[in-house]
């Protein structure tokens, strides 16, 4: 009983004068675009403070609440990973933790921390925007997207009332709901560092690759289709890591952009001098291309080789679209 009272007092002291509009979360999701199984991550909490993270494949990781913290002025719960295959998660059991800000009617992001030499590193804000489904007081904030619901039904989910309702997120303030795709992983052959992206010519570029990049740049849809059917590497890139998707987006060839996304092109290719496909489309003011890339999970906070953000370089015609989708 004494330990419970101490915990309650500590929570009250930590939260202090936090407005009553902040509420602990009970269920949320976010779009993950990293290497380990890109796609949605659904988080659900049980009555014992154990969080289950579900992947598109059905794989699950477990986290346990370990306390309340205040990070960058935000109050929230932090959880430590209990279990989950490291090959699938990329994180160590007991060595990785997540800060989950309480719901407060404005966009917030997850924070990560990991153990290094036995000590926890400082919290680091991610680009993973939290889409809150329910709060711990039973309140409903968003409907579960149908893409997640369909996958959960295949895995035996029984909560039909929750699962059968489409998301309303796309109706809020002009925001478009992301398509929950598994196609956004960085190819293994793709450059990993800014130096590689900005200064290293690609010695593996073939004549077919060059023709493919040129066709995408010039909007030659039939030629792009033909080369894809011949087996060209959809993520081949030139000396500045500019892919076919980058050039199609840069030149407002939306049909090519749609085709390349559908065929699994790496959506965040770039970060060199030209930036990502979204960054270049935003710079050029290509509204429909910007919306399409965001809809398919493009990182709205990607940096180019100079450290500039998508929003920094965006044309005024698309700046508000980016902000409404979490760009900073």
| Mean per-residue pLDDT, 118-124 | 93
- Between 242 and 46, name the one with better pLDDT: 46
Strand partners, 109: 129
Q: Is the domain defined by 194-324 classed in CATH 1.25.40.20? A: yes
3-state helix/strand/coil string of 188-240: CCCCCCHHHHHHCCCCCCCHHHHHHHHHHHHCCHHHHHHHHHCCCCCCCECCC
- Interior/surface letters 128-143, b for 16+ CB within 10 angstroms, e for the rest: bbbbbbbbeeeeebbb
**pTM, to two decimals:** 0.48
Q: What pLDDT, on a 0 to 100 scale, did the predictor assign at position 203?
A: 57
Which of 43-57, 236-250, 251-265 is predicted with the least confidence, judged by mean pLDDT?
A: 236-250
Q: Is the pLDDT of residue 258 over 90?
A: yes
The separation between CA 190 and the C-alpha centre of its own chain, rounded to angstroms, equals 19
Q: Is the pLDDT of residue 187 over 70?
A: no
Q: Indicate the domain borders of the chain.
A: 16-171, 194-324
Task: Determine contact, residues 81/120, Cβ cutoff 8 Å.
Answer: no
Which of 99-103, 183-187, 200-204, 217-221 is predicted with the least confidence, judged by mean pLDDT?
A: 183-187
């Amino acid at each position: 009983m004494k330990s419970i009272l101490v915990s309650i007092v500590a929570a009250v002291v930590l939260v202090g004068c936090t407005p009553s509009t902040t509420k602990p979360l009970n269920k949320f999701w976010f779009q993950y675009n990293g290497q380990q199984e890109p796609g949605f991550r659904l988080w659900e909490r049980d009555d014992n403070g154990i969080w289950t993270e579900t992947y598109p494949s059905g794989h699950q990781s477990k986290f346990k609440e370990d306390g309340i913290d205040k990070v960058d002025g935000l109050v929230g719960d932090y959880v430590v990973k209990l279990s989950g295959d490291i090959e699938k998660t990329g994180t160590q059991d007991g060595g990785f933790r997540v800060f989950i800000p309480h719901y407060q009617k404005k966009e917030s992001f997850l924070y990560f921390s990991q153990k290094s030499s036995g000590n926890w590193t400082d919290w680091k804000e991610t680009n993973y925007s939290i889409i809150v489904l329910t709060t711990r007081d039973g309140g409903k904030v968003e409907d579960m997207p149908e893409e997640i619901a369909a996958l959960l039904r295949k895995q035996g989910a029984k909560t039909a009332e929750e699962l059968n309702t489409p998301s309303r997120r796309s109706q809020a303030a002009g925001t478009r709901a992301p398509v929950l795709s598994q196609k956004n992983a960085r190819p293994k052959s793709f450059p990993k560092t800014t130096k590689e992206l900005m200064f290293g010519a690609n010695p593996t570029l073939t004549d077919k690759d060059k023709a493919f990049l040129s066709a995408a740049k010039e909007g030659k849809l039939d030629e792009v289709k033909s080369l894809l059917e011949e087996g060209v590497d959809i993520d081949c890139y030139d000396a500045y890591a500019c892919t076919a998707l980058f050039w199609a987006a840069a030149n407002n060839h939306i049909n090519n952009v749609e085709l390349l996304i559908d065929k699994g092109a790496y959506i965040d290719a770039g970060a060199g001098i030209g930036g990502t496909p979204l960054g270049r489309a935003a710079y050029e003011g290509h509204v429909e291309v910007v919306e399409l890339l965001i809809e398919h999970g493009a990182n709205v906070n990607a940096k180019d080789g100079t450290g500039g953000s998508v929003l920094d370089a965006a044309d005024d015609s698309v700046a508000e679209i980016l902000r409404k989708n979490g760009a900073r």
